[in-house]
Amino acid sequence: MEGVTIIGDSQFVIRKRFIIAGTAGHIDHGKTSLVKALTGMDTDRLKEEKERGITIELGFAHLELTDGVRVGIVDVPGHERFVRTMVAGVAGIDLVMFVIAADEGIMPQTREHLEICRLLGVKQGIVLLTKQDLVDREWLKLVTEEVREYLSGSFLHGAPIIPFSSRTGEGLPALRRELGRLAGETPPREPSGPFRLPVDRSFTLPGFGAVVTGTLRSGVIRVGDSVELLPSGKTGRVRGIQLHGKRKEEGVAGQRVAVNLQGIDHHEIRRGETVTSPGTFRTTRTVDIRLELLPSARSLRHRGMVQFLSGTAESSAQVIFPHRDSLRPGESAPAQLRLRTPLCLLPGDPFVLRSHSPAATMGGGRLLDPAPARGRRVSEEALELLAALDGGDADTKIRLLVRESRLSGISAEKITLRSGCGNTVMEAALGRLLSRGEVVRGVKDPGIFLTREAFRSLEDELMAALTSFLTDNPLRDGMGKEELKGKIPKRSDPRFFGALLASLVREGRLLLQRELVKPGTAVPPHLSGVGSGGGDAVEAELRQGGVEPPTLKELSQRLMTPEKQLREQLARLTREGQAIRVTGDLYYAPEPLLRLRGQLQLYLEERGEITPAEFRDLSGLSRKFMIPLLEYFDSIKLTIRIGDIRRLRKG
């Protein structure tokens, strides 16, 4: 991250760049000695670390190079028992100092640490052949070639390989030069948005209280800011900030900071919690992910249990595959994780999965959606949304998120949380979707959105509610506005009522007299013919289609009628019992749908359960109709879905 300092009254500006470097490599390959030679700081601070001569906890140091480059350094343990600590240290670094001892070469944790760095999204680094003073030139040359060949094709392919000795200082100037060069090539992190500080260490100082350290992932944190700890929910205030041992008024994304917190006891803070602005983020127990299984791992079965590591946080988790029974080594697929511990996670966060027994790194990937819809069925729509979140443009992500909300609608805050788009990008995308008429927003609350199709469906619901009310109350000529508002489906949001009412009045379908709502006295142009048999052709098409009727788009093409007009005709036919709506764009004539229902019910009474493939054989339908029908029978509570099978609902 770049910072600017102005000295005195002159215009002389010193530009400073902050980067975070982390060590990685096998145990006893000289990571801590390397950091001490580079910075003069011993990162092994625990008594046990001194006695055993190994790093157990994360260690921290800092270094100021020439040209105003400041480097924060995270030293990680190399022992296989402390891989979870290693993952916490690598999270958030800009580059890795990958350590391989010249006298031993590539070892088990060398391989595991390289895979972990790749899975966590590390893109660049420097390779250090430490302990080079213990080997002769020929051996050093052989090890260098072995390492270069091993790194070929990895993110460290072509990275500088520097022979290094912490005892003699050999390689130290070259290391400092490379750190400076890579710092110049590292893009600054985006400081916009709310601050998010994953905690990798907490302690207390006499007279100051609780102190937490970590790498600021986003935003700016300032002295005096109110803060919230997630997932614990503890709140406090920033009393002080230090950067590389110096007091600062603020910390910026990309910097390693120590934050003195007031109002929170040190014992209430654990590694893995996140310091953020109160009410900004939510914790989650269910996340959608893109998962890659390492070629060296064992197959991972549907509903298998794993250890989930992301940033400094960790939790046991169950893996759910939406459309497969397992994932084989080397494969990649979308999946869902159900976490035992609630965590603060955002789209794009990298993660690592490890097996419980034996403890080993299995794979990892990126978070796609930290708040997927509850009870979402495995459908083409769900997989389309996952694909968009995995790599689609902002317009597609947001359009599909709004579509998934159906009649409930979705808020701008939730779109930001689930899409991973910043506020500026999100607002621009929503502007385009609104201008094209694909999305509608609330009136009194313009921060909530529906698709145009869902909006039309809600209009039909209100019209049907008014018609039903007047039928039951023939002496009334209208319905109270607040009473009609109460007829919005429970699964929707009443904040859309103002926009719905305004639209229906504008189209002439309703009249508004103060607080009384009446049916429109004139038929709007786009509904001409609807009340006088205009739906006869539509009904005929549905009857002729039988068990595979035309969709709304196909009806529009066949009858050369705008979809908007057809929706009104279909809504009327549905109210009159001459059509049944299965999905948003698929309607059936009652007779063929009842025949299918009878076939399915008889089959289930005789055999107990049915799979999608068996329903296809029973009905002779293609997937285009088969899946929506199965979901329709679930929705009317004829059947209940259990995994990939369906059974009759009791009662």
Strand partners, 41: none
d(CA 405, CA 71): 45
d(CA 103, CA 134): 7
Report angle CA 583, 587, 588 to the nearest 5 degrees: 125
How would residue 5 be classed by pLDDT, with cut points 50, 70 and 90?
A: very low
Collapse the DSSP code of 93 into the 3-class scheme (helix H, G, I; strand E, B; otherwise coil) and give the result. Answer: coil
Which residues make Cβ contacts (< 8 Å) with residue 196, sequence separation at least 6? 216, 217, 218, 219, 274, 275, 276, 281, 344, 346
Contact 646, 630 (CB under 8 A): yes
Mean pLDDT computed over 274-280? 93
> What is the residue-averaged pLDDT of the chain?
85
Closest Cα partner for 446 from 498, 486, 407? 498
| Token pair 């506005």 in the structure block, residue | 481
> Tell me: the pLDDT tens digits for 80-114?
665 777 787 777 889 999 999 999 999 998 999 99
What is residue 535's predicted lDDT score, i.e. its pLDDT?
A: 62
Q: Cite the DSSP H helix spans in 186-344.
A: none
Contact 155, 139 (CB under 8 A): no
- Residue scoring higher pLDDT (15 or 433): 433
> Tell me: the pLDDT tens digits for 16-67?
578 899 999 998 898 889 999 999 887 755 444 444 444 446 778 888 887 6
> Tell me: the pLDDT tens digits for 453-495?
899 889 888 988 888 888 777 677 789 999 999 988 888 888 8
Q: How far apart are the first and last CA of the chain?
A: 63
Report angle CA 316, 26, 306 to the nearest 5 degrees: 15
What is residue 439's predicted lDDT score, i.e. its pLDDT?
A: 92
> Tell me: the pLDDT tens digits for 421-445?
888 888 999 999 998 889 998 876 7
Contact 485, 497 (CB under 8 A): yes
Strand partners, 204: 210
The DSSP letter of residue 299 is P
Contact 429, 420 (CB under 8 A): no
> Tell me: the pLDDT tens digits for 568-622?
788 778 877 788 888 878 999 988 998 898 899 989 988 999 999 999 989 889 8
Which amino acid is residue 44, in one-letter code? D
What is residue 289's predicted lDDT score, i.e. its pLDDT?
A: 95
Q: What is the CA radius of gyration of the chain?
A: 31
Closest Cα partner for 411 from 288, 495, 485? 495
79-to-57, 113, 143, 326, 584 alpha-carbon distances in Å: 11, 10, 22, 30, 56
Closest Cα partner for 19 from 312, 258, 257, 254? 254
Contact 485, 458 (CB under 8 A): no
Contact 17, 2 (CB under 8 A): yes
Closest Cα partner for 602 from 636, 629, 639? 639
- Residue scoring higher pLDDT (256 or 86): 256
Which amino acid is residue 229, in one-letter code? L
d(CA 464, CA 142): 81
Q: Indicate the length of the chain as a whole number.
A: 651
> Tell me: the pLDDT tens digits for 541-573?
898 889 999 998 888 888 888 887 888 788 778
Burial class for 647, CB neighbours closer than 10 Å (0-12, 13-18, 19+): middle
> Tell me: the pLDDT tens digits for 334-392?
999 999 999 999 999 999 999 988 889 999 999 999 999 875 556 778 888 988 999 88
What is residue 352's predicted lDDT score, i.e. its pLDDT?
A: 94
Closest Cα partner for 3 from 11, 15, 20? 15
d(CA 546, CA 14): 76
486-to-400, 480, 493, 510 alpha-carbon distances in Å: 28, 10, 10, 17
The pTM (predicted TM-score) of the whole model is 0.72
What is residue 635's predicted lDDT score, i.e. its pLDDT?
A: 86
Contact 198, 91 (CB under 8 A): yes
Model confidence at 537: pLDDT above 50: yes
What is residue 44's predicted lDDT score, i.e. its pLDDT?
A: 58
Contact 268, 348 (CB under 8 A): no
What is residue 164's predicted lDDT score, i.e. its pLDDT?
A: 96
DSSP 509-567: SEEEETTEEEE-SS--GGGTTGGGTTTHHHHHHHHHHTTSPPPHHHHHHHHT--HHHHH
Strand partners, 150: none
Which residues make Cβ contacts (< 8 Å) with residue 522, sequence separation at least 6? 508
Q: Cite the DSSP H helix spans in 392-507.
A: 394-404, 412-419, 423-435, 452-472, 481-485, 497-506
Pairing state of beta strands 284-293 and 274-276? Answer: unpaired
> Tell me: the pLDDT tens digits for 127-172?
999 999 999 999 999 999 999 999 999 999 999 999 999 999 999 9
d(CA 624, CA 390): 25
- Residue scoring higher pLDDT (116 or 191): 116
